[in-house]
Amino acid sequence: MTCCNSGHCNVQTPKPNILAVILDLDGTLLDTERATKGVLKEFLAKYGKVLDKEREEKKTLGKTLKESSAVIVKDYDLPLTPDQYIQQIIPMYQEKWMHAKALPGANRLIKHLYNHGIPLALASNSLREYIDLKISHQEGWKERFSVILGSDQVKAGKPSADLFEEAAKRMGVDAGHCLVIEDSLIGVKAANAAKMEVVAVPPRSEASCSSLANTVLQSLLEFQPDLWGLPPFEDWLDNALPIEPIYLSGQYVNGFLRDVTDDGAYALPDQIFGVFFGCAEVDMQRIFKVVVFISDQCSCNHQKKIQIHTIDGTNIVCGSNQRMKLELFGYIRCLTSKESGCLDLKLLEEYKSITRASVDLPIFISQHSQLFPEACYVEEDMVVSDVE
């Protein structure tokens, strides 16, 4: 697995020269899953059915609408045909799509490739009209893709190669010079069938696609275009990368953020890992500048391990049931498997030093929205408590 460090990465096997990039939409660029969470549960309740959360979490991502609808009708014994199900539930999804957020690194990647004249296609198993609706709420997306394809525009959707082959044909680029970026096993299989290079950015539920991809990343923030013969990113400031703000909310307990909110503005996307920095608000009035480590809690559950360190070493004290809000607007690097399990104190000090040098630079200040305008910063020489 590739790990990015300040824009410079470990030596890797040279990749084929890539002339065009094909991107999946749902789960790769757009966090539609979080935005539409609860829709199926609400719909099933109308028919006296209860959502089987465990079963839904095990389902394969990336299926066409008709395929997934047929499965739902069968699984819950609904008194509907798949077409009737689609007709009734799609308006509920449409109301939520406008709130779907771009996944970390998505806007950066799209703008970068477009600005350097790299042909860019969007190929999704969604119907074309639904793709247009979803991306209409994302500034500049429609204009930056030279090709946009839905599964209803080809003979068969993923895992068939049809979508990717048609995208390459419309861009006028040979399949062997196309790079696909996907999040699902079905999408990776389709890229393989089209004989294209493929980068997987899978959620934990789709980890099985890792063995079939050329490269596996934890998030799009780790993607290094220069490894594929594409123009390199030029937005790193020494060892830090300005990013669009990521907002988190949960309960602060002994250095960790627990019970993280899973929907709304503070929903944590599945594909977000690494070392970040930003601000933490406690007591509705105090703000700390912090380094934040986000990794998997363990392979057996869907919880993230979110560890927080103030950059000056002061300790944060929260009363019982006290909530904390985080606003992350800087990225340092991904976490290695070793760092996820045990944090090296020398590296921690290095990350704190990077944060101190970057957090107050104008570019980082402009990235965030002053989420906590009424709170005050805790000065670096102010010791809050010795309690850990």
Residues 329-345 pLDDT 10s: 999 998 876 665 567 88
What is the predicted pLDDT for the residue at 343?
A: 72
Q: Which of 24, 31, 162, 270 is catalytic?
A: 24
Domain 32-98 has CATH 3.40.50: no
pLDDT of residue 314: 79
- For the chain, the domains span 20-29+101-228, 32-98, 241-366
Top pLDDT among 244 and 35 is at 244
Residue 108 has pLDDT above 70, yes or no: yes
Lowest-confidence pick of 13-27, 47-61, 122-136, 214-228: 47-61
Question: Is pLDDT at 158 greater than 90 in this prediction?
Answer: yes
Report the C-alpha gap between 388 and 149 in whole angstroms: 53
Q: Which tokens belong to 119?
A: 């042909």
- pLDDT for 4 equals 47
Amino acid at 159: P
pLDDT of 374 reads 47
Is the pLDDT higher at 267 or at 107?
107
Least Cα distance to 148 among 266, 134, 31 occurs for: 134
Confidence at residue 340, expressed as pLDDT on a 0 to 100 scale = 59
Which candidate in 26, 31, 162, 183 is catalytic? 26
DSSP labels, 282-308: ETTTEEEEEEEEEEES-TTSS-EEEEE
CATH superfamily name and code, 20-29+101-228: HAD superfamily/HAD-like (3.40.50.1000)
At 378, which amino acid appears?
V
As a whole number, the mean pLDDT across the chain is 84
Kindly state which CATH superfamily the domain 241-366 is placed in. Riboflavin kinase-like (2.40.30.30)
Q: Single out the residue of 27, 11, 79 nearest to residue 49, CA to CA.
A: 79
Average pLDDT over residues 136-158: 95
Closest to 254 in 3D by CA, of 348, 317, 347, 326: 317
User: Any idea which of 150-159, 167-176, 347-356, 376-385 has the lowest mean pLDDT?
Assistant: 376-385
Task: Please tell me whether residue 198 adopts helix, strand or coil conformation.
Answer: strand
Q: Alpha-carbon distance 165 to 195, whole Å?
A: 9
Phi and psi angles of residue 148, each rounded to the nearest 5 degrees, phi first: -130, 125
Task: Name the more confident of 322 and 111.
Answer: 111
The confidence score (pLDDT) of residue 199 equals 97
- Residue 85 has, within 13 A of its CA and on its CB side, a CA count of 23
Residue 321 in this model has a pLDDT that exceeds 80: no
Once rounded to an integer, what is the mean pLDDT over residues 65-72? 86
For residue 322, is pLDDT > 80? no
* H-helix segments, the chain: 32-35, 39-45, 53-58, 65-75, 82-97, 106-115, 128-135, 141-144, 162-171, 185-193, 337-341, 345-358, 362-367
User: Is this structure's pTM higher than 0.95?
Assistant: no
Which of the four pLDDT bands, split at 50, 70 and 90, describes residue 106? Answer: very high
Residue 24 a catalytic site member: yes
Q: Output the pLDDT for position 383.
A: 34
State the virtual CA torsion across 291, 295, 298, 303 in degrees, nearest 10.
90
Q: Phi and psi (nearest 5°) for 163?
A: -60, -50
Q: Does the structure show a pLDDT above 60 at 377?
A: no
